[in-house]
Structure 1
Amino acid sequence: MNKKTINTAYAGRLGAFALAAAALTGCASTANNANDPLEGFNRTMFSFNDTVDKVALKPAAQAYDTVVPTPIQHGVGNFFGNIGDVWSSINQLLQGRIEQGVSTFMRVAINTTFGLGGVLDVATEARLPREKSDFGQTLGKWGVGSGPYVVLPFFGPSTLRDTAGMPVDLYGDLWTYKRPVRWRNVGAVVRIVDRRAQLLDASTLLEDAALDKYDFVRDAYLQRRQSQIDGASGGREQKEEAIKP
């Protein structure tokens, strides 16, 4: 069994795990938020993820931010963003947003051709802004309800709908087909660390604020996801932002 198969199988098990957790913890939930009936379970997973972040991911991101020059960081983000744009374009077309899907495809063509394989974001300068789309958003456009909010181990904030779409997103991510496997694995780690480094300032402000971090992240995530679904339904342009623990 190759790594691609393992990754996909893991995503499928993760979705099943989230669904099972919903069934097992629903009766014992103490949540007052209608969108978060699994709050007891979710807070436990949130605490676990937060610990992993503090012990491993955040220190790695801080070291990366210190050692790697800013232009190279931008290049890394642009490169993986360009790869992600391919799947975003497909999802936008599946959502019936033909104009946006074609625009995103043009981003890929321009950045790949004139941006050194996507290292330079030439398309944004050409007024073709990035809009990230995934299969969970596509399911929402097709009328699939979000289901309860759920915090997944390692993956963080999600909903049952987005969790169900995660294996499809893995299949649609071109980097999962990269060979040899060692380069794919190295790239996957760099991608995660680079993304975390982009959120260092936001996470520091969140940690310093006098608020319930779990509540803030949950409410911000659900509001952002609903905005993305509304944008897919109405064709409004959305900006790529994320807040994660």
Structure 2
Amino acid sequence: MKTALIGLTLGLGLVLAGCAHNSPYEPADPLERINRPIYAFNIKADQYVLRPVARSYVKVVPAPARTGVSNFISNFFYPTVVVNDLLQGKFGQSGRDLTRFAMNSTFGLAGFLDPASKVGLMRNDEDFGQTLGRWGVGEGWYLMIPILGPSSNRDLIGWGVDTFGTEPTAYMDLDLKEKLEVAAVRAVDARVPLLSLDHLLKQQLDPYVFVRTAYLQNRLNKVYDGHPPEKLMEPELPE
């Protein structure tokens, strides 16, 4: 059943995203009228729930402990990176990432410590959305997902494949409450590094456009490992 779901999801991703371009400056955003209200809802949810929790977490939990938790979360979900390394044909990187995972899982006390980085095995960030992009699948429409935030057709499909196919929690006997607890911990951990950037968003004339451009540019950089083609990064000037 799970294999069939992944196959169906992948097929939908290819159909939805195959005809799209990859420019963060002229994004395909036909759902903007729907995306903007969802963005406003997400901002309110962040303002009243996620940001206060993240700020309280920073105040209560010492920095070394927060680093340990963040290391553990990263290592726990690192098999997704290894799998997508292979799917992208990055066999050398896959071997290094597998070694990193094994080292941190053992000598790093289940990942709370990060000895792998100290010996030069640095953390990589790969997911199935990037895998689709590497093999030529366009990003599709820009999407604003309730609670989850910015995405695209391609990345939403990628998120589904990773969530139900490559993440360890997909193979653990967790009930809905436990899955939500795991998601909440990951959300707080991901929100903490962004606390220092809150003021930047408030300075924007149109925060929605700022977030959209930043998200798409970041994803473009990840697909091309930090070296996207110049033609995709430069805005088209009127003739």
TM-score for both structures, normalised by structure 1: 0.77
Whether the aligned pair in 1 keeps the contact of 2:201 and 2:207 (CA below 8 Å) is yes
Q: List per-residue Cα deviations over 1:150-178 (Å, max 9, x = no partner).
A: 11111111111111222211121113444
Q: Does 1:225 align with 2:216?
A: no
- Which residue number in structure 2 is paired with residue 238 of structure 1? none
Whether the aligned pair in 2 keeps the contact of 1:141 and 1:232 (CA below 8 Å) is no
Q: Does 1:190 align with 2:185?
A: yes
Measure the CA separation in 2 of the matches of 1:202 and 1:153: 21
Taking only aligned residues, the RMSD between alpha carbons, in angstroms, comes to: 2.6
> Looking at both structures, which has the greater relative contact order when contacts are Cα pairs under 8 Å and sequence separation is at least 6?
2
Percent of aligned pairs with the same amino acid: 41
Measure the CA separation in 1 of the matches of 2:155 and 2:56: 31
Whether the aligned pair in 2 keeps the contact of 1:83 and 1:175 (CA below 8 Å) is no
CA shift at 1:111, angstroms?
Answer: 0.4
Q: Helix, strand or coil: the match of 1:150?
A: strand
Whether the aligned pair in 2 keeps the contact of 1:136 and 1:161 (CA below 8 Å) is yes
Note closer, same or farther for the CA distance 1:33–1:142 as it changes in structure 2 (3 Å cut). Answer: closer
Measure the CA separation in 2 of the matches of 1:184 and 1:35: 33
Note closer, same or farther for the CA distance 1:233–1:106 as it changes in structure 2 (3 Å cut). Answer: farther
- Which residue number in structure 1 is paired with residue 156 of structure 2? 163
- Report the more deviating stretch, 185-194 or 142-151: 185-194
Measure the CA separation in 1 of the matches of 2:167 and 2:141: 26
Q: Does 1:137 align with 2:136?
A: no
Note closer, same or farther for the CA distance 1:215–1:180 as it changes in structure 2 (3 Å cut). Answer: closer
Q: Helix, strand or coil: the match of 2:150?
A: strand
- Which residue number in structure 2 is paired with residue 92 of structure 1? 85
TM-score for both structures, normalised by structure 2: 0.79
- Which residue number in structure 1 is paired with residue 21 of structure 2? none
- Which residue number in structure 1 is paired with residue 30 of structure 2? 37
- Which residue number in structure 2 is paired with residue 62 of structure 1? 55
Whether the aligned pair in 2 keeps the contact of 1:95 and 1:232 (CA below 8 Å) is no
> Unaligned regions of 5+ residues in structure 2, if any?
17-24, 229-239
- Which residue number in structure 1 is paired with residue 198 of structure 2? 203
> Unaligned regions of 5+ residues in structure 1, if any?
20-31, 235-245
- Which residue number in structure 2 is paired with residue 101 of structure 1? 94
- Which residue number in structure 2 is paired with residue 175 of structure 1? 169
Q: Helix, strand or coil: the match of 1:157?
A: strand
Note closer, same or farther for the CA distance 1:71–1:90 as it changes in structure 2 (3 Å cut). Answer: same
